[in-house]
Amino acid sequence: MLIDADRLHIAIQKNGRLSDTSRELLKDAGLRLQNGRNALTARVDNFPADIMFVRDDDIPTFVADGVCEFGIVGGNVLEEFRLASAEPAVEVVAPLGTARCSLKLAAPESFDWQGPQSLAGQRIATSYPRITERWLADQGIAATVVKMNGAVELAPRLRIAPFICDLVSTGATLEANGLRAVADVFDSEAVLIRTTREIGVTRSALGEALLSRIQGVLTTKD
């Protein structure tokens, strides 16, 4: 797609826990999307913007690279991206209050947890290695972090690692896998992000207009 200088490009998750609320927010802000569910992009027919439907993990990169001026992503994914980048050219412009969850350290239910020192020299499986490593450093604990891209809660059973650091909302998944949360590592919610790259006068003005519409929606929801 041609990235034209007089339109905004907004990245949202294609399918997943952020998709419905992201679409809803844009709709409540008055943006009418032309394409249906299965398209990879959608033109907005009453505002100069195009929507890109992507994997959530790609959203911070797209916004930092300036491919999209705006994006909606989980604070956890954004934080992991920031810790991985030398100069992450992205800023949070609005916390959205949706997709709330916490990255938690969990141990087998039967484990005699004595506090973070119980992790010394142990292995911890997670999809968020940098956030986990930062937390360990803050606690002054040396442990081995093992990156998994999914099914992290299976790690103890598969003997990959006795501990995990994973997202929790209800806690049902931990319980179903014989695990219990022992420490809070990072609290997350969906956030609206904007590129800090130079985007020119027209798109800057469009960005301000979009942001004020979104802030209007968020205020009425408070």
Chain positions contacting ligand PRT, by CB under 6 A? 13, 16-18, 55-57, 74, 76-77, 99, 101, 166-173, 188
Closest to ligand PRT by CB, 168 vs 211, is 168
Q: Which does 17 bind (CB under 5 to 8 A by kind): Zn ion, ligand PRT, none?
A: ligand PRT
Q: Which does 61 bind (CB under 5 to 8 A by kind): ligand PRT, Zn ion, none?
A: none
Token pair listed for 51:
């929507």
The b/e string for 160-187 (b: 16+ C-beta within 10 A; e otherwise) is ebbbbbbbbeeeeebeebebbbbbebbe
Closest to Zn ion by CB, 56 vs 80, is 56
Closest to ligand PRT by CB, 143 vs 167, is 167
Closest to ligand PRT by CB, 172 vs 201, is 172
The residue among 56, 63, 206, 70 whose CA lies nearest residue 127 is: 56
Q: Which does 133 bind (CB under 5 to 8 A by kind): ligand PRT, Zn ion, none?
A: none
Interaction site with Zn ion (CB under 5 A): 56-57
Going by C-beta distance under 8 Å and a sequence separation of 6 or more, which residues neighbour residue 196?
A: 89, 90, 91
The residue among 176, 149, 189, 181 whose CA lies nearest residue 164 is: 181
